[in-house]
């Protein structure tokens, strides 16, 4: 053996050795109950970050269970990442002076696919660098044919069961991303914005959104507010910037009497609370802001002209039309002052603002046709499963959070207005739906937008529209057919794709090839799901719901929730702070084993995991300590010291270390069973470094008892290697292979050696 353990000299060869021996594949001859884990799928074109390194938890479990003789499999896969991937690709297009609007839908999809393929594979190699014992023969990509087939079958079942519907519903829309987001995908930030106090007839209204006043349809006050009680149910005339309008004062217990002046304007098309109020009182829902975040006054300009409208109002509508919300507020401020209806402005109003979690752009509540899933019938069985103990959470405190999220589930918008992803398998007949709005590139590569009936009458052919189709928008009550194939020549496809969480929520089904795949029949339900706590709702809850809905069983028995990796001060890593730790750089400097055990030792599930180079360096030294003990044993063996049959009655120092070893075996096994990874790692470090190396080994150096000491040391050390292997696989396997050459051990691979039961 070399005088020191140099990780880079051993890691790749050890991984190759495991692969050559098919050690990552499950031993299906075993009669024990199968053990399976699914890798949370990273983006296909991603690079490894500190969070991915926490997959070490899963590797510890599968290596341990494999050594215990269970048919064990850890299945890898990658996510198409929907909007995230398309966003990165569009940035590449932008650098070339191009945009997605220059391509038809299919061409853009194919180009993104080529981009992903070109940039994929890196993370797979990086996962191998960390020693993760994944069964690569079973890897799945979220756009594989089997995945699409299963996702389609789930959607079809949801439709048949009446759990899918289309509706003009108020959604969280990001004009920059061009897509909708679920409530819990929206971030909220504290921000200062002007609070405008505007006269509304006999009242004054306080609002941060004056631009929506053109679609106000009512006023509302708390029914017990004495200031407005006498006005409830009455109509008042309000001077608007485009002329006077009449509004009714409604009673609503949701109005906060302490906010502003205690009375509010109602705009159902641009506020969730107002939308619900509008439904309750059957109010009209008309938009003033379009999906580009621009003001839309076409409704006014189409019905008003010089003959029936005051010139001032008409000029304003023309001036406002097409402006951004930000520019609109500047224009409105001037006109509000001119009309004498701006009472005052509070420039220091602090409030919570909804922003897109990807682009940080302000979320625009819009009423749009979307696909929705009725969540209550799915959420209730998921709560019941946890309450009955069919799925458990570690740490247990997250179970309460799980219930809270499920209890407040509202219907889930599953459609996204992007190209990269799994297209919703729906088709619309142009004969049955003549008002379909389509955007396509014609034969001259010109972008055309219009109603399909009018376009076909203008000599555009179905083939031309189909070939150049970019986007289709159907009304909420449009007639549709669910099919994975085109039903006929008169049909155009839905262009919306499924929310990424819809497909990734079926990960246990798609990876195992539900319903007839051998892996599904063998490994479902899976054993453990390990992920970070922040996607308990986004991913974990949805997998449980879909698993129960499609199979009647939970998709995994235990949910282990680790937390984010932080810097040594406990601060979240970010490029702006300059504290990002690249795991591959750490591996290159200190080795994979040192990083792996550093992420586990001293950490507790659900809490921040502090990582520093000093900590990793310390465990690098521990790896060298293991190597030196192994080297010492080999040198003794080469000098002629033999392994003998130990007598029944041992000397005290031998009996003491073997008793401590036996206790350690029991402790480590118990700790792993309870998911106490830190306790196991710290106990092993203390036993090997303090008891074995510093105490027992030093005493044995002067011992000449004919092999009793040497045999005890070999037994203690080789058992310790087995216990340490799930945590530090490279150095332990490297030492094991050196021992194997000289027949100090019988089992050819440490990775598949039997887990210690007793000493």
pLDDT in tens, 614-673: 999 999 999 999 999 999 999 999 988 889 998 888 889 899 999 999 999 999 999 999
Please give the Cα distance from 188 to 480 (Å, whole number).
36
Predicted pLDDT at 384: 97
pLDDT of residue 189: 95
Q: Report how far apart, in Å, the C-alpha atoms of 94 and of each of 91, 98, 102, 460, 559 are.
A: 5, 5, 12, 30, 41
**Residue 348 half-sphere exposure, CB side, CA atoms within 13 Å?**
0
Catalogue the E-assigned strands of 432-543: 437-441, 447-451, 469-473, 481-482, 491-493, 497-498, 526-532
**What's this model's pTM, rounded to 2 decimal places?**
0.86
Token pair 């465990």: residue? 619
Domains of the chain as residue ranges with CATH = 32-163+374-421+498-562 (3.40.50.620), 180-365 (3.90.740.10), 425-495 (no CATH), 615-741 (1.10.730.10)
pLDDT value of position 359: 82
Please name the helix (run of DSSP H) or strand (run of DSSP E) that holds residue 37, with its range, or none.
Answer: strand 35-38
Place of tokens 């180009």: 111
**pLDDT score of 184:** 66
How would you classify the pairing of strands 364-373 and 164-174?
antiparallel
CA distance 150 to 510: 6
Cα distances from 685 to residues 602, 658, 693, 709, 727, in angstroms, run 12, 16, 11, 22, 11
State the Cα torsion 412-294-246-228 to the nearest 10°: 60
pLDDT at position 74: 98
Q: Alpha-carbon distance 77 to 142, whole Å?
A: 8
> According to the model, what pLDDT value does residue 84 have?
86
Tokens 């996962």, residue located: 127
Q: What pLDDT is attached to residue 219?
A: 97
Give the chain's residues under pLDDT 70.
184, 574-576, 702-704, 758-759
Q: How many CB atoms lie within 10 A of CB 376?
A: 11
B/e letters for 422-435, b = 16+ CB within 10 Å, e = fewer, are bbbbbbbbbeebee
């Amino acid at each position: 053996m070399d005088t020191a353990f140099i990780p880079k000299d051993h890691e790749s060869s050890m991984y190759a050795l495991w692969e050559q021996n098919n050690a990552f594949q499950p031993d299906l001859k075993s009669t024990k109950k199968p053990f399976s884990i699914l890798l949370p799928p990273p983006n296909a074109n991603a690079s490894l970050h500190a969070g991915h390194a926490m997959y070490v938890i899963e590797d510890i479990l599968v290596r341990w269970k494999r050594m215990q003789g269970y048919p064990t499999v850890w299945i890898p896969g990658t996510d198409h990442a929907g909007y995230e991937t398309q966003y990165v690709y569009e940035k590449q297009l932008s650098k070339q002076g191009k945009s997605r609007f220059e391509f038809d839908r299919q061409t853009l999809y194919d180009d993104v696919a080529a981009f992903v393929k070109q940039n994929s594979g890196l993370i797979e190699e990086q996962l191998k660098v960390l020693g993760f014992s994944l069964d690569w023969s079973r890897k799945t990509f979220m756009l594989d044919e089997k995945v699409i087939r299963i996702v389609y079958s789930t959607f079809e079942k949801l439709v048949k069961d009446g759990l899918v519907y289309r509706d003009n519903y108020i959604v969280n829309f990001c004009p920059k991303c061009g897509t909708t987001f679920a409530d819990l995908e929206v971030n909220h930030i504290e921000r200062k914005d002007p609070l405008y106090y505007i006269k509304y007839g006999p009242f004054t209204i306080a609002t941060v959104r004056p631009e929506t006043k053109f679609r106000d349809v009512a006023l509302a006050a708390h029914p017990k507010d004495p200031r407005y009680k006498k006005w409830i149910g009455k109509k008042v005339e309000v001077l608007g910037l485009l002329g006077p309008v009449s509004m009714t004062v409604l009673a609503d217990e949701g109005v906060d009497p302490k906010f502003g002046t205690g009375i509010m304007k109602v705009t159902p098309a641009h506020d969730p609370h107002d939308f619900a109020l509008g439904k309750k009182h059957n109010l009209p829902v008309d938009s003033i802001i379009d999906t580009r975040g621009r003001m839309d006054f076409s409704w006014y300009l189409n019905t008003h002209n010089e003959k029936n409208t005051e010139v001032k109002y008409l000029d304003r509508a023309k001036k406002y039309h097409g402006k951004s919300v930000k520019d609109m507020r500047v224009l409105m401020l001037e006109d509000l002052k001119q009309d004498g209806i701006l009472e005052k402005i509070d420039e220091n109003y602090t409030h919570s603002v909804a922003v897109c979690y990807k682009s940080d752009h302000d979320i625009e509540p819009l009423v749009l046709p979307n696909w929705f899933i009725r969540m209550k019938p799915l959420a209730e069985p998921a709560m019941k499963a946890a309450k009955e103990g069919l799925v458990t959470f570690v740490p247990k405190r997250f179970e309460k959070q799980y219930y809270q999220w499920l209890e407040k589930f509202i219907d889930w918008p599953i459609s996204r207005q992007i190209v990269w992803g799994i297209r919703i398998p729906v088709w619309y007949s142009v004969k049955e739906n003549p008002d379909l709005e389509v955007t396509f590139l014609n034969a001259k590569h010109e972008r055309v937008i219009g109603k399909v009936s009018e376009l076909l009458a203008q000599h555009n052919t179905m083939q031309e529209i189909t070939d150049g189709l970019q986007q289709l928008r159907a009304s909420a009550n449009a007639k549709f057919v669910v099919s994975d194939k085109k039903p006929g020549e008169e049909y155009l496809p839905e262009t919306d794709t499924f929310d990424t969480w819809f497909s990734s929520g079926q990960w246990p089904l798609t990876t195992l090839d539900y319903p007839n795949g051998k892996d599904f029949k063998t490994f479902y339900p899976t054993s453990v799901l390990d992920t970070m706590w922040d996607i308990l709702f986004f991913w974990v809850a949805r997998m449980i719901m879909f698993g129960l809905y499609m199979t009647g069983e939970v998709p995994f028995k235990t949910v282990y929730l680790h937390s984010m990796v932080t810097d040594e001060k406990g601060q979240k890593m970010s490029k702006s702070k300059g504290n990002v730790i690249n795991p591959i750089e750490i591996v290159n400097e200190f080795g994979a084993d040192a990083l792996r055990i550093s992420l586990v030792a001293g950490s507790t599930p659900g809490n921040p995991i502090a990582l520093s180079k000093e900590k990793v360096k310390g465990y690098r030294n521990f790896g060298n300590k293991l190597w030196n003990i192994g080297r010492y044993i080999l040198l003794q063996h080469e000098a002629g010291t033999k392994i003998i049959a130990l007598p029944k009655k041992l000397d005290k120092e031998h009996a003491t270390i073997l008793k401590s070893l036996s206790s350690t075996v029991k402790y480590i096994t118990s700790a792993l069973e309870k998911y106490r990874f830190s306790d196991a790692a710290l106990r092993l470090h203390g036993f090997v470094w303090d008891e074995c190396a510093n105490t027992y080994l030093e005493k044995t150096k002067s011992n000449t008892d004919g092999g009793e000491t040497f045999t005890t040391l070999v037994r203690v050390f080789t058992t310790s290697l087995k216990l340490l292997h799930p945590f530090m696989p490279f150095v332990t396997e490297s030492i094991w292979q050196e021992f194997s050459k000289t027949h100090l051990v019988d089992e050819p691979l440490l990775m598949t050696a039997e887990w210690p039961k007793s000493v």
